[in-house]
Structure 1
Amino acid sequence: MRIFIVHAHPEPNSFNGALTRSARGALSEAGHEVVVSDLYAMGFNPVSDRRNFTTVRDANYYHQQTEEANAAAHDGFAPDIQAEMDKLFWCDALILQFPLWWFGLPAILKGWVDRVFASGGRIYGGGKWYDRSVFSGKRAMCSVTIGGPPPIYSDRGLNGPIGAILFPINHGMLYFVGFTVIEPFLVHAPARISDTERRIFLGRYRERLLGLAHAPTIAYPKLVDFDHSHVLKSA
C-alpha cells in the first residue's frame, strides 16, 4: 500500500512524533511506500486566502470556492497546495496524526484541510461528495493523542463521547471527500503513562498499521439512503 501521513505536532520528541516514526518504520519494513508531511517542520502556512492560487477569477471580491473552481479548471493551485493534493491522489490510505486540542484539530492541520480539500471538482463538488467523491475506495484514519483519561470521554463523561468529538473530522472532512474511515487509534494521557505503557501502545499501533487494509471502519449512510432533501429515507 501507499500510505500518506500528515503529522501535526510541534515537538519531534512528543509521543505523536514517536507514533509517526513507528508508523514509518513498521510500514516501510513491511514493504509499503510511506510519505510524511510534517506540517510544522515544513513551515506549512495554514491561512487560506489568495495565496492558495496562481490564478485569479475575480480580483475585486474573494470567494474561496469560486477561486478553487477556477484553479481546478486552469491548474492554478499554489505549489504547496498542489504538492499535498498530489500526495492525496497518490496514496491508498491517509493517516492524520495529531493531538486533540480544544476538542478538535490543531490549527495547522485544520488549515491544511481548509487549503488542500479544495472544491470545484478537484477534491469535491459538482456532485462529488461522500461516497461519490474522488477518494472513494481509499482509506483514512485519525491517530490521536488525548490529554485526559478514557472515562471523561465516554457517554457519561464530562467531555462527552470521543466518537462525537471526532465526528466533524471523521465524517465532515474524511468521509465528505470519499474516504472509507477507519476507527481511530487513540492514546489517552500519554504524558501520564509509564514508558512500558507507551511501548505497549506503540506495539498496538504497529499492529493496526500492518492490518490497515482490513482494519475496522465506521459505517456511515450512503447518499442513496437519503431523499431529495438529504434526510434519511424511512425504513
Structure 2
Amino acid sequence: MNVLLIYAHPEPRSLNGSLRDFTIQRLRQAGHSVQVSDLYAMRWKAAIDADDSTDQDPDARFDPARDSKRAFDSGTQREDIAREQDKLRWADTVILQFPLWWFSMPAILKGWVDRVYAYGFAYGVGEHSDRHWGDRYGEGSLAGKRAMLVVTAGGWESHYGPRGINGPIDDVLFPIQHGVLYYPGFSVLPPFVVYRSSRTDEARFADLCDALGQRLDALETTAPIAYRRQNAGDYEIPALTLREHIAPERVGFAAHIE
C-alpha cells in the first residue's frame, strides 16, 4: 500500500515528531511504501494567491477558484502544488497529522489544502443537474482512497466528550473529516486522537505507540465513518438537504452519518 503522511508541526523533537517517526517506521516495516510531506521542513507557502500560477496576468483581478482551475487545466500551476497533487494520486491512504490548534488544523496545513485542492482537481468536478450535484461527498477525484487523522490535543479527553466544554471531538473534527477529506471522495477512518499531549512520559508514549501501531496495522481493514453520500438518494437536489424521511429526529453533524 502507498501511504502519504502530511505532517504539520514546527518542532521535530515534539511528541508529534516522535509519533511521526514511529508511524513511518511501523508502516515501512509492514511493507508499505511511504512518502512524507513535512510542511514546516518544506517551508510550505500557505497563502493562496496569484503567484500560484506561472502565467498570471499581473493586471488581471485574482480569482482563487477561476485561476486555480485555469492553472490546473493548462498545466501552469506552481511546481510545489503539482508535486503534492501527484503524491495524492499515488497514495492509497493519506494520513493528516497535526496538533489541534484553536479547534482546527495549523494554518500551514490549511494552506496546503487551499493550494493543492485546485478547482478541477478536488472540487468543481462532475455533472451538475437536477439529479446529480457534482462528484463530491463520497465521490470525486480521490474516491477509492482512504484517509485518517492523527491529532494531538492539549485538553483532557473529557473536555471533548459528549458534554465537554470544547464540544464532542467528532464535532470539532467534522469540518476536516467530512469537508476536507470526504468531500473529494476519501473514505474517512475514525481519527486517532491523543489528549493531554503535554503530559506524556516514556511509559505513556510506549502505550500511545502500541495503540497507534494497532491502528496503522489495520489501515486497510478498518471500517470508515459511515457518512451519507450526496448523490445516493438521501438528499434533495439541488437544495442538498436531507429528505424528510431520512433521520427526522436528527439535526446538525450527526444527521449526515448513517
Residue of structure 2 equivalent to 1:233: 243
Q: Which one has a larger percent helix, Structure 1 or Structure 2?
A: 1
Residue of structure 1 equivalent to 2:123: 124
Moved more, 185-194 or 94-103: 185-194
Give TM-score scaled by structure 1 length. 0.96
TM superposition shift of 1:94: 0.4
State the one-letter code of the partner of 1:138. K
In the aligned structure 2, how far is the partner of 1:163 from the partner of 1:58? 43
Q: Give the gaps of 5 or more residues in structure 2.
A: 126-133, 246-258
Q: Secondary structure at the match of 1:214?
A: coil
Give TM-score scaled by structure 2 length. 0.88
In the aligned structure 1, how far is the partner of 2:77 from the partner of 2:164? 43
Q: Which runs of 4+ in 1 moved over 6 A?
A: none
Residue of structure 2 equivalent to 1:145: 152
TM superposition shift of 1:177: 0.9
State the one-letter code of the partner of 2:217. L
Residue of structure 2 equivalent to 1:45: 45
State the one-letter code of the partner of 2:41. A
Residue of structure 2 equivalent to 1:188: 195
Residue of structure 2 equivalent to 1:114: 114
Within-5 A mapping of 1:47-126: 47-56=47-56, 59-119=59-119, 121-126=120-125
TM superposition shift of 1:59: 4.1
Q: In structure 2, do the counterparts of structure 1 residues 216 and 197 end up closer, same or farther at CA, with 3 Å as the change threshold?
A: farther
In the aligned structure 1, how far is the partner of 2:162 from the partner of 2:211? 24
**How many residue pairs are counted as aligned between the two chains?**
234
Within-5 A mapping of 1:8-19: 8-19=8-19
In the aligned structure 1, how far is the partner of 2:187 from the partner of 2:195? 24
Query: Deviation string for 1:86-142 (max 9, x for gaps)?
Result: 1001000000000000000001101111111111x2222132322221111100011
Query: Deviation string for 1:154-177 (max 9, x for gaps)?
Result: 111111111100001001110111
Match of 2:222 among 206, 215, 227: 215
TM superposition shift of 1:234: 2.8
The RMSD of aligned alpha carbons is 1.3
Contact kept in structure 2, 1:57 and 1:70, CA below 8 Å: no
Q: Secondary structure at the match of 1:68?
A: helix
